[in-house]
């Protein structure tokens, strides 16, 4: 990797450390450090340990959960932020919270919940649900509801992976929807791609769903490292050679992200948060050549892993469990645990039921489904 060009660091964070409810400064922790601690201690964060990343509990305890994926994203994100001279604590906080709004059963569960809500003119968006979690559902403090995170973290929760229209989401008016997010937030989506791309290759091979020869033929980014590692370690076990190649594949993606982001920041001559916000496009990015290779690898995983016949049973189960419980509870909200009645009156049963389901772990929703179906026998 080449030395970083000058002008990468954009340390000015303006008003991003402000909180909705003012709090006195902490004697030895900075605002984003406090956010990181609040996220880690949140109940919703702990529940990520019981939520699917790609493989459910049926396969192995060795495979990634939503929590271990989150930890890998945080590790990579902090490395990238340090290399770019950005705020590491803000970046790490955003990485730790970026998936906190996911429901059980991974993306299959999210799609099922969204389809169920559409019948009522509503949608499920895990970014917006994450904001509801940190602003409303977490109740740890006597003085305010939610975690009272800084503006920088709350903005990043919403905008790290996509842009929202102010016309469609007037409730988000305070989050600069007509401007780019800070670089720390922009990085999270790129780092998330790196983390799950390489981790899903690893878990997919461990599960026996992905074929080594097929991957070498179909994923150039993987093959460009596997072939040299095979020559370097001719007597090593195949899995160890695979590990060496995958490590270098991850490093190549991270190095390219650092270099290309730095190049774009330098070319745009930005040195303030305001300039980042008003840039013509997001500045955190892979180079065109690496982006082509990344998309090739991602498309390979969709074709060979995410839509693999071996996972179809789990996908069908997730759809059935979430859809069945959602409609049963919407039709009879009295089946919900005590304490939800006021929320149903205020927000309507579909939204309250979706919020309740989204907070569940895989094992808990399966136990609720078993109770529900046994009661109908």
Which of 258, 187, 289, 194 lies closest to 8, judged by CA? Answer: 258
**3 state DSSP class of 150:** strand
Is domain 31-313 in CATH 1.10.3210.10, yes or no? yes
Which pLDDT score is estimated for 3? 41
**3 state DSSP class of 19:** strand
CA distances 268 to 28, 260, 279, 284, Å, are: 36, 12, 8, 12
Which pLDDT score is estimated for 271? 87
Domain-by-domain residue ranges, the chain? 31-313, 314-375
C-alpha 359/C-alpha 337 separation (Å) is 13
Mean per-residue pLDDT pooled into runs of 10, the chain (377 residues): 47 80 92 97 96 72 87 97 96 97 93 96 95 95 95 96 92 93 96 96 92 96 97 95 97 98 95 93 97 97 92 91 97 90 91 96 95 78
């Amino acid at each position: 990797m080449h030395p970083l060009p000058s002008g990468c660091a954009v340390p000015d964070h303006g008003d991003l450390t402000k909180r909705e409810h003012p709090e006195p400064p902490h004697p030895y922790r900075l605002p984003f450090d406090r956010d990181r601690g609040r996220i880690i201690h949140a109940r919703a964060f702990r529940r990520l340990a019981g939520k699917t990343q790609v493989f459910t509990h049926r396969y192995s305890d060795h495979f990634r959960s939503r929590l271990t994926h989150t930890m890998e994203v945080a590790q990579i994100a902090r490395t990238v932020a340090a290399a770019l001279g950005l705020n590491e604590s803000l970046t790490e906080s955003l990485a730790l919270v970026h998936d906190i709004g996911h429901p059980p059963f991974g993306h299959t569960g999210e799609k099922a919940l969204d389809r169920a809500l559409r019948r009522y003119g509503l949608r499920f968006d895990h970014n917006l649900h994450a904001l509801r979690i940190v602003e409303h559902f977490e109740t740890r403090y006597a003085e305010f509801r939610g975690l009272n995170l800084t503006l920088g973290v709350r903005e990043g929760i919403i905008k790290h992976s996509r842009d929202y229209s102010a016309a469609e989401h007037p409730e988000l008016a305070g989050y600069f929807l007509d401007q780019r997010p800070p670089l720390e937030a922009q990085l999270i989506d790129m780092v998330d791609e790196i983390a799950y791309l390489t981790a899903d290759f690893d878990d997919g091979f461990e599960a026996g769903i992905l074929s080594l020869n097929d991957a070498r033929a179909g994923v150039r980014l993987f093959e460009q490292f596997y072939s040299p590692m095979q020559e370097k370690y001719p007597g090593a076990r195949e899995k160890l050679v695979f590990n060496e190649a995958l490590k270098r594949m991850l490093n190549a993606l991270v190095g390219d992200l650092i270099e290309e982001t730095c190049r774009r920041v330098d070319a745009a001559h930005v040195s303030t948060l305001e300039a980042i916000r008003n840039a013509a496009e997001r500045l955190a990015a892979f180079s065109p050549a690496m982006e082509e290779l990344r998309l090739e690898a991602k498309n390979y995983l969709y074709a060979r892993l995410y839509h693999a016949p071996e996972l179809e049973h789990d996908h069908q189960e997730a759809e059935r469990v979430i859809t069945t419980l959602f409609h049963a509870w919407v039709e009879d909200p009295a089946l919900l645990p005590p304490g939800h009645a006021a929320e149903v009156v205020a927000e309507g049963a579909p939204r309250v039921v979706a919020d309740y389901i989204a907070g569940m772990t895989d094992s808990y929703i399966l136990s609720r489904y078993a109770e529900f179906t046994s009661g109908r026998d």
